[in-house]
Structure 1
Amino acid sequence: MHQRPTAVVFMLLLGVGTACSQPPAPPVPVAPATAQSDAAPVYGAVRPSADGIGKTYQGREISAVMGWQGAAWLEREAREREERGSLLLQELALEPGMDVADVGAGTGYYARRIAPRVAPGGTVYAVDVQPQMVAMLTQAAARTGLANLKPVQASVTDPGLAPESVDVALMVDVYHELEYPHEVLDALVRALRPGGRLVFVEYRAEDDAVPIKPLHKMSEAQIRREAALHALEWTRTAETLPWQHVVVFRKR
């Protein structure tokens, strides 16, 4: 789910690249939208940084997000070389019959690749908060003939998934942009089936060589600290990708 007119929230999308040997720079972030109800008193406020929204959670400023106008950057030719998404798909160990939520799916870069892996019998729910992205996802599903790719319109606080409806919920470079991370994680935990997996993929804040702005990175420790506030149990962290870590939790 990319959070698009908000911070995408959800979802969601990718970190913006800068610095040495950078990938192409994505478009300017869009401003966050307003949630339908007041958030729980877990958020703070600071003067907004150049890449943030001035809202804090668990000691970090929430980053701004990239709008739907950045769709082409999500589909850039260099993405596989830079991120090795094929390795991520291997790490997910998906099987036919699994139901997967790609939260902050954007253009469906990963959802389109997941759909064949869970067929037959499985569905990939491509969740995004931006209506424009959802429209692109709908077009992509029709164009590719992927009948098991189902676009889902999310809100800034709710991914729009039914309780116990998915085996895996995946967020690729999305979580750090969620305007309401606590509420979204609560909703994702509810959406997971017993023992289901929640997978965070984030640019490594521990590695200064990763050419991404600091606010668009997250450390493993920060991810685990925030996930610990929910009914989630850390199972492993994979460091097989060039720039990102894959932090995996199971629903308790």
Structure 2
Amino acid sequence: MNKLFLLLIITLPIFSIAQQTAEKEVYTYKTGNPNGTGKWYMGREIAYGMGFQGMTWLERPEREKEENTSKLLKNMDLKPGDTIADIRAGSGYHVFKMSPTVKNGFVYAVDIQDEMLAVIDQRMEESQIDNVSTIKGSEKSVNLPENSINKALMVDVYHEFSFPIEMIASIKKALKPNGKIYLIEYRAEDASVPIKEIHKMSEKQAVKEFKAAGFKLESNAINLPWQHCMVFVKQ
């Protein structure tokens, strides 16, 4: 038998086993924060996501004061014609603030919970909004077409992704070449921010994870009361 053929027979299974082992080691599991999932990525414990039962908190009247959401949208430099994806859009709090600004553009409201998407659909129908579309995502994908968006917004949700590697890969695929990710996370560096530590994230940690996914930090606005406003672009 050809020696090269024998070598291939021997090495291919070994390579396959090594690849499977590497994939398993990307995420590790150990006891951590009581509010965490026990699943870790790059030294960070992944937090539990908020269910649709917490929808009223997303729409709380004091949110503008606490987070200065108007300033956040100014940071995004929204323009008519933009195509934006609000990832894990929840009840659509930011979606319906962005849709009038982009005018002839489009906003995709992506979420994994049917209850959240139903609320957005109902509001779209009641207000006769025609530049918003709901998308049912999954834990591993935003389920958007390739090169379909020029801006992606994630507000206090990335730290809850069960599969951050897969999710960022799917967003990267959906982004146009010059597209940007706006990552909004409560500042872990600031102990005065009244949010549980498991639901905060530092700039250093975000940069580490996004660099691994092929992104670089373009800027981080410091004009929000509690949150980072990090802008990532493709390497």
TM-score of the aligned structures, taking structure 2 as reference length? 0.89
- Aligned residue for 1:143? 126
1:83–1:244: 8 Å Cα contact kept in structure 2? yes
- Aligned residue for 1:201? 184
Mind listing any 5+ residue stretches in structure 2 that lack a counterpart?
A: 1-20
1:192–1:251: 8 Å Cα contact kept in structure 2? no
- Say which one has the larger Rg: 2
Per-residue deviation at 1:234?
A: 1.5
Per-residue deviation at 1:98?
A: 0.7
Per-residue deviation at 1:251?
A: 2.2
Q: Report Cα offsets for 1:152-204 as digits up to 9, x if no partner.
A: 10010001111000000110001000000010000000000011001100000
- Aligned residue for 2:7? none
Paired residue type of 2:126: R
Q: For 1:93 and 1:143, how far apart are their aligned partners in 2?
A: 28
- Aligned residue for 2:33? 49
- Aligned residue for 1:236? 219
Q: For 1:171 and 1:111, how far apart are their aligned partners in 2?
A: 11
> Is 1:180–2:160 an aligned residue pair?
no
1:198–1:251: 8 Å Cα contact kept in structure 2? no
1:39–1:180: 8 Å Cα contact kept in structure 2? no
> Is 1:96–2:80 an aligned residue pair?
yes
Per-residue deviation at 1:101?
A: 0.2
Per-residue deviation at 1:231?
A: 2.4
Q: Percent identity?
A: 43
- Aligned residue for 1:132? 115
* Structure 1 segments (4+ residues) deviating >2 Å: 38-41
Counterpart of 2:64 (choices 80, 88, 98) is 80
Counterpart of 1:60 (choices 44, 59, 76) is 44
Report the secondary structure of 2:213's partner residue: coil
Q: For 1:114 and 1:168, how far apart are their aligned partners in 2?
A: 12
2:150–2:176: 8 Å Cα contact kept in structure 1? yes
Mind listing any 5+ residue stretches in structure 1 that lack a counterpart?
A: 1-37
2:33–2:198: 8 Å Cα contact kept in structure 1? no
> Is 1:118–2:102 an aligned residue pair?
yes
Paired residue type of 1:197: K
Report the secondary structure of 1:40's partner residue: helix
- Aligned residue for 2:194? 211
Counterpart of 1:153 (choices 127, 136, 140) is 136
Counterpart of 1:246 (choices 218, 225, 229) is 229
Report the structure, 1 or 2, having the larger helix content.
2
Q: For 1:128 and 1:185, how far apart are their aligned partners in 2?
A: 15
> Is 1:170–2:158 an aligned residue pair?
no
Judging changes above 3 Å, is the alpha-carbon distance between structure 1 residues 139 and 39 closer, same or farther for their aligned structure 2 residues? Answer: farther
Q: For 1:187 and 1:39, how far apart are their aligned partners in 2?
A: 20
Q: Report Cα offsets for 1:105-128 as digits up to 9, x if no partner.
A: 0000000111111112x1100000
Paired residue type of 2:73: L
Structure with bigger RCO (C-alpha 8 Å, 6+ apart): 1
